[in-house]
Structure 1
Amino acid sequence: MKSEQRNPLPGIPARTYLTHQALWRGLPLLQSEAVQLGPGSHVYEMLQVTGRDMLIFRSNFAPKMASTIVTHPDWMVLMVPVRWLGDHVLNGQLARPFDVFVFAGPDGYSSTGMGRHNLSLGIRKSKLKETCAIMSGRCIDDINLDDQRMALGPGLGTTFHRRILETIAASLEEPIGPGKFALETAIENDLFAEIAGLIIAQTIEENAVSSPNLDALRVVRRAENLFEDRATYPPSIADLCKAANVGATKLRVCFNEVFGVAPIAYLQAKRLTQARSLFLAEEGPPPSVKYAALSLGFTHSGRFARQYRSVFGELPSETLEKR
């Protein structure tokens, strides 16, 4: 039986449902990808609050999903897992109640889990470093923002979560698009100061900090890059091992650590998710199911349709008809 992790947080009624492409469009990202690993609807329940140097997200999605995010070099992410089913893994580390993950390095982060409700903040690093330097009395060059896990505990964790939700709630009067709201400058500056104080106490002062193992993440990235280069001719395990410069056992361990599945199972799910994205693309779906399948290396249409239905609950042709 899958366990549910829960933190006591108030709900916010505003919501909208988005596809992956719509979710991340226009954000300061170098890479964004979501691969569905289990059955369910491939949509996000999403709310976004946008400021000048900060983006706040409240998101929910039900199926087991592996997500990869690499931000622009001057941006970083604070990920705040709130509720999830089973294991929620971020860069190879199991999330625990009241953890806050800081992803500030060039590799970004990958996360895997199901039934997830997350709060996350995109933050301009230069602004945060400046704020940390002012508040700590340090030179800005001495402020290092690295990938970290901060274990806040129930007291500080609940206070921090509520502070984010209060910021979202205060912004609901300023809609700027479906599920999107404007963050007032004064409120943004206050939250920046609170986050800087948290970073100073938890990371710069080296209290309760653990760094994730990025070796597995880099192995997975190298293997994924080969897949992107050869989407119409899916690589073998030997090809992936050569690209990642590791043996088959190490490759399998790294994929299981980051995504919770074996390499071939992950790449198969990735191709199916990409096929669904093609069917739902706003610029126009592919001319046929067969064309989409062949473009992603599926050579047997019947097998492709069965695999697709097992994940998304409908045939590829039914997805196209829904448009």
Structure 2
Amino acid sequence: MSPPTVALRDATMEEAMSIGSLVFHRHVLRPLDASRPPRLNLASYRSGPVTLGTLHYSSGVQLQSTAVPTAYQTNIVLQGSLRTGRLGGEDLIATPRRAVQYGLHPHGFEGFDTPTRLLGVKIDRVALERRLEVLLGRDLNGAHIEFSLGFVLDTAPARDWFTLVQLLAGRLWSERGLTDDSLVLANLQDALLTGLLVASPHSFRDELAQPVGAAAPRAVQRAVAHVDASAEAARISVPELAVVAGVSVRALQVGFRQSLDTTPLAFLHERRLTHARRDLERSDPDAVSVAEVADRWGFAHHGRFSSEYRRRFGESPSATLRRG
């Protein structure tokens, strides 16, 4: 498992191979010009099933990796271009408009002889395959996801997915942000996994695009009852609700729309507001603040929480707390 955070500056090739293998996967580096061995700058962090890292080599380098049985890898060129591909297979020129997806395959790249920056996105194999099973509503039966090598980032879904990547990657160059909140971070990670499966080309893409029937009202009620009975309602995700209901995420979405005229996500949001109101009504204003209650129920932006609360209940959260 990769370290939670890594920061390297001006690392030698030996250090780069050692630490880079821990962060991403085992690989071998070779300089394109033996008289100019490359130095590496690397910043990475791991949270849950996702590892993100930016890297830059000071001069031209060739990299070859072994197979990666435990994680799916996507590389995004932030600056410059890179010749890359799967070993023994096709290759392409990766640019800021075209990412590259290696899947579980051995792969390599060659470049950095001109200024180039790369952002690597590594996702745990079990987590991504489990998310796909939840979306499909069936087991993969041991099959793996075969991603197309090229992933064009010009489409609307791909741009939205890259926005999620940038929000998470912001932790690499900013001390504070929304991802400091554990609930926000968990939801962004969930969206990153689902978004990759929806936006990128792979072997299950056509099946994901097929229309689905609605979850039965009984399944919807199982999901509702789970949320109402859970002390951790703030941390429940839509994929978790689908597992509880015994249906796919897409079937649950259609079922919620037909049975409750809402979406699972909107339902969870409404329940969190209701739980927050209950806590405010029961709390001592001298011992508890509105911000503490908002944080408890996953509302990281306190100003937005106050606005939504007032719109929903006709008073400010501080008024509810004072009355309690």
Structure with higher RCO (Cα < 8 A, 6+ apart): 1
* Bigger proportion of residues as strand: 1
The TM-score with structure 2 as length reference comes to 0.48
- Give the greater-gyration-radius structure (CA): 2
Query: Given the two structures, how large is their TM-score scaled by the length of structure 1?
Result: 0.48
